[in-house]
Amino acid sequence: MPTGAAIRCDRIWRGARLATLAPGRPGLGVVQDGLVAARDGRLLYAGPAAEAPAFDAPRIEDCAGRWITPGLIDCHTHLVYGGDRADEFEQRLSGVPYEAIARAGGGIVSTMRATRAASEADLVAAALQRLDALIAEGVTTIEIKSGYGLELETELRQLAAARALGAARPITVTTTFLGAHALPPEANGDADAYVDRLIAEMLPAVAGAGLADAVDAFCEAIAFSPDQVARVFAAAKALGLPVKLHADQLSNLSGAALAARFGALSADHLEHTDAAGVAAMAQAGTVAVLLPGAYYFIRETKAPPVDLLRAAGVPMALATDCNPGTAPLTSLLLTMNMGATLFRLTVDECLAGVTREAARALGLQERIGTLEAGKACDLAIWDIERPAELVYRMGFNPLHARIRSGR
Ligand code: DI6
Ligand code: FE
């Protein structure tokens, strides 16, 4: 490398095939003989080696033809919780439906009890096992929701545990307050009064502590009504927090349209969303976050309206939904396989769904999700011959190296 006029950087990867996911390039934005240069944790260049300016770096890696993608992004998880629900899984195997278990005081409320009983250190230790499984597959950013405390102190503890995970491992963590996840037993069935308290006490405290990057809710017959969700969203927006929604997972309450009405970053699940909901999302620029792991695990039979979403140009992200009840899943690679097999997404859609579109679902599209100059140097380097292998194989991890912020 020439040194005189060369641009100084920290690290160069050469001899790589790139899936840049950059908008403006067709498909995955493939570059066959690619070069990536990084300085101070950011990409200076990612593109054809032949068009690269001269760079000078103390560290130059030869990728020997390996593929580089953006670091993977899991944009919808409930990673932090106490206990597990293997017992409930056995009940469901013998025929008891998820909603019946929830109505009988199990489900989310059973995890709430275990989470309330756990210290922050307990929560972090349990979640680290799950986080490490995701990291081992090249995940460099993760969204983590609260929603198993259902009272202020535990919700704050869950969010603090999520933030602590981001300090314990080299990963970017975004946090989402999901106080409107389920009704706790002490609310005695009065969801309106619980929402009143959530708005008056919980939300301002969470926002004041700076512990949430967004606000989510579960809009469902077994959870909160569209009117209650609308009240939560109005309060969140008044505090300057973006919103997202668990929408139309088990039934169609027009959650997608509700999310769109509040300019939500994303509407998630969407199994029962109709054409009007899709149109509203397209209009609002709300991302569809599809969660095939939950669909698979609860043996849902109605798939989200992928054809409608695609036709309307709604960006589609894919995420694990990692949670103890409906998706005890810690693999984004398997999630992509499920997205393709169960929802008929293409390979390109699956890969965009865990990178570029997942970034958009978190409002981080200017900072991560593609290999473009100026974005974070978050990379996954794979021992594969073609990108389809990342979607095609099940239970196999071809990650060669993972780089987060250039390291
Ligand atoms: N939808 C889900 O799939 C999870 N939460 C939600 O709102 C389930 C959470 C659980 O069962 O613990
Ligand atoms: Fe979820």
Ligand nearest to the CA of 250: 1
Nearest CA to ligand 1 atom 3: 326
Residue 172 Cβ < 6 Å to ligand 1: no
With a 6 Å cutoff on the Cβ, whether 145 touches ligand 1 is no
Contacts of 244 (CB under 8 A, 6+ apart): 176, 214, 215, 216, 259, 264, 265, 266, 267, 268, 289, 361
Please tell me the distance from the alpha carbon of residue 393 to that of residue 320, in angstroms, as a whole number: 17
Which residues, in sequence order, are CB contacts of 282 under 8 Å at separation 6+?
312, 313, 314
User: How far, in Å, from the CA of 169 to the mean position of ligand 2?
Assistant: 23
Q: 255 and 217 in contact (C-beta within 8 Å)?
A: no
Q: Which helix (H) or strand (E) holds 350?
A: helix 347-353
Query: What's the angle, vertex CA 249, arms to CA 243 and CA 253, rounded to 5?
Result: 75
- Counting Cα atoms < 13 Å in the Cβ hemisphere of 212 gives 30
Distance CA 213, CA 210 (A): 8
Q: How far is the CA of 247 from the centre of ligand 2 (A)?
A: 10
Q: Which atom of ligand 1 is nearest to the CA of 107?
A: 11
Closest residue by Cα to atom 9, ligand 1, is 325
Q: Is the CB of 107 under 6 A from ligand 1?
A: yes
pLDDT of 1: 45
304 CA to middle of ligand 2, Å? 15
Q: Are strands 399-403 and 72-74 parallel, antiparallel or unpaired?
A: unpaired
DSSP-H helix ranges across 40-151 = 86-93, 98-103, 108-116, 120-135
Please work out whether the CB of residue 326 comes within 6 Å of at least one atom of ligand 1.
Answer: yes
Q: Is 391 exposed, middle or buried (0-12, 13-18, 19+ CB in 10 A)?
A: buried
The ligand with the least distance to the CA atom of 268 is 2
Kind plus residue range of the DSSP H or E element containing 17: strand 11-19
Distance, CA of 79 to CA of 129 (rounded, Å): 10
The alpha carbon of 37 and the centre of ligand 2 are apart by a number of angstroms equal to 36
C-alpha to C-alpha distances, 298 to 39, 165, 237, 290, nearest whole angstrom: 45, 28, 32, 15
Check residue 4 and give its pLDDT: 59
Ligand 1 nearest-atom number relative to CA 294:
3
Does residue 294 contact residue 98 with C-beta atoms inside 8 Å?
Answer: no
pLDDT at 104: 84
Does any ligand 1 atom lie closer than 6 A to the CB of residue 216? Answer: no
Distance from Cα 126 to the centre of ligand 2, integer Å: 18
Helices (H) and strands (E) counted in the chain, each on its own, are 16, 17
Q: What is the pLDDT of residue 271?
A: 98
- Average pLDDT score over the chain: 96
Query: What 8-state DSSP symbol labels residue 44?
Result: E
Per-residue pLDDT of the chain (407 residues; tens, 9 = 90+): 444 589 999 999 999 999 999 998 889 999 999 999 999 999 999 999 999 999 999 999 999 999 999 999 999 999 999 999 999 999 999 999 888 888 888 899 999 999 999 999 999 999 999 999 999 999 999 999 999 999 999 999 999 999 999 999 999 999 999 999 999 999 999 999 999 999 999 999 999 999 999 999 999 998 999 999 999 999 999 999 999 999 999 999 999 999 999 999 999 999 999 999 999 999 999 999 999 999 999 999 999 999 999 999 999 999 999 999 999 999 999 999 999 999 999 999 999 999 999 999 999 999 999 999 999 999 999 999 999 999 999 999 999 999 999 99
What atom of ligand 1 comes closest to residue 325's alpha carbon?
11
DSSP track, 129-193: HHHHHHHTTTEEEEEEE--S--SHHHHHHHHHHHHHHHHHTTSEEEEEEEEETS--GGGTT-HHH
Ligand 1 close to Cβ of residue 108 (< 6 A) = yes
Collapsed DSSP state (helix, strand, coil) of residue 225 = coil
Residue 52 carries which DSSP code? P
| pLDDT, position 38 | 98
Residue range 78-133, pLDDT digits in tens: 999 999 999 999 999 999 988 888 888 889 999 999 999 999 999 999 999 999 99
Q: Which of 316, 294, 145 is nearest to 215 (CA)?
A: 145
Q: Cα of 347 to ligand 2 centre, how many Å?
A: 23
For residues 23-33, one letter each, b for 16 or more C-beta atoms within 10 angstroms of the residue's C-beta and e for the rest, the string is eebeebbbbee
Q: Using an 8 Å Cβ cutoff, are 76 and 50 in contact?
A: no
Please give the distance, rounded to the nearest whole angstrom, from the Cα atom of residue 372 to the centre of ligand 2.
Answer: 30
> Is any ligand 1 atom within 6 A of the Cβ of residue 218?
yes
- Cα dist from 257 to 185, 219, 245, 353, whole Å: 30, 12, 10, 21
| Protein residue with least CA distance to atom 2, ligand 1 | 326
Query: Which of 246, 320, 335 to probe ligand 1 with, by most ligand atoms within 8 A of CB?
Result: 246
Is 246 a pocket residue for ligand 1 (Cβ < 6 Å)?
Answer: yes
Measured from the Cα of 324, ligand 1's closest atom is: 12
Q: Provide the CA 334 distance to its chain's centre, in angstroms.
A: 14
Provide the token pair at 313. 């140009």
Q: How far is the CA of 52 from the centre of ligand 2 (A)?
A: 42
